[in-house]
Amino acid sequence: MANSPSGDSVTDRIVRILDTFTTERTVQSATDIGRRAGLPSATAHRQVEALVEAGLLERDEDRRVRLGMRLWELALRGSHALRLRQAAMPYMERVQATVREHTQLAVLEQNEALFLERLSSPDSGANITRVAGRLPLHASSSGLVLLAFGSTELQERVLTAPLARISPETITDAATLRRTLAHIRRVGYVVAPGSIESVSTGVAVPVRDGSGAVVAALSVVLPRTAPTEGAIAALSDAAAGIRSTLTADRR
């Protein structure tokens, strides 16, 4: 791949440009993209134009730039995430109909919980989760489940790094987190009150595929004082249903 005088490859530059888009910052000028990506202005404008021509970025009528539909199309094509989401959707709808609160599906992605889907009704309570958004592993119910069933290497990496306090009740002590993860593996679910915002309780269970490997976490976000037993039962039934769909898919 051709390198620039600063030594970064075209691929590096494209990744840096795409990485300037976040769930909160979805539209930007080419100048702002260049500044955020650390690229010279002329390079940024040229590269953005090439990406627009390829359909990976799109311009609006003010010439501002957003991620293109073609990127979405390519990313979903044959993706494991889409297959998982499709297997999960009927069961997520059932959970949502029973519990009547936010229901969401997350996978492990680069040390964080990445949310593939979220179902909510208009009267559901607070929830900071966004589809295609991420939450920290130690500070969300889904993240705790993914961490509990993740590799030892992942657990040690998280346990030995500083644990950011997102809310007053986030687990920030490594020994407490280690005990919590062992408890989750023993009981097969987590109830995490106030771990990311004080007004809510996250409840999550692992989702296994046909081989028994944990491939996702299924969770609900309840108002802080709501009972959790019904949610645990609904989530566990749903996880079993998703597993049977994923098992049938493998045949």
Candidates 116, 221, 234, 235: give the one binding ligand PHB (CB under 6 A): 221
CA dihedral 137, 236, 239, 118 (to 10 degrees): -60
Least distance to ligand PHB from the beta carbon of 193, Å?
A: 9
Number of Cβ atoms within 10 Å of the Cβ of 94: 15
Candidates 44, 57, 114, 192: give the one binding ligand PHB (CB under 6 A): 192
Show the CA angle centred on residue 244, arms to residues 229 and 184, nearest 5°.
40
Least distance to ligand PHB from the beta carbon of 19, Å?
A: 24
Give the span between the Cα atoms of 215 and 202, in whole angstroms: 19
- From residue 115 to residue 154, what is the string marking binding to ligand PHB with x (rule CB under 6 A)? -----------xxxx----------xxx------------
Residue 231 burial by Cβ neighbours in a 10 Å radius (0-12, 13-18, 19+): buried
- Pick out residues in 63-122 that bind ligand PHB (CB under 6 A): none
* CB nearer ligand PHB, residue 65 or residue 107: 107
Give the span between the Cα atoms of 36 and 112, in whole angstroms: 22
Least distance to ligand PHB from the beta carbon of 142, Å?
A: 5
Select the span of 15-23, 155-163, 197-205, 235-243 touching ligand PHB (CB under 6 A). Answer: 197-205
Stated as kind and residue range, the H or E segment containing 163 is none
Residue ranges that bind ligand PHB, judged by CB under 6 A: 126-129, 140-142, 192, 195-197, 200, 202, 219, 221
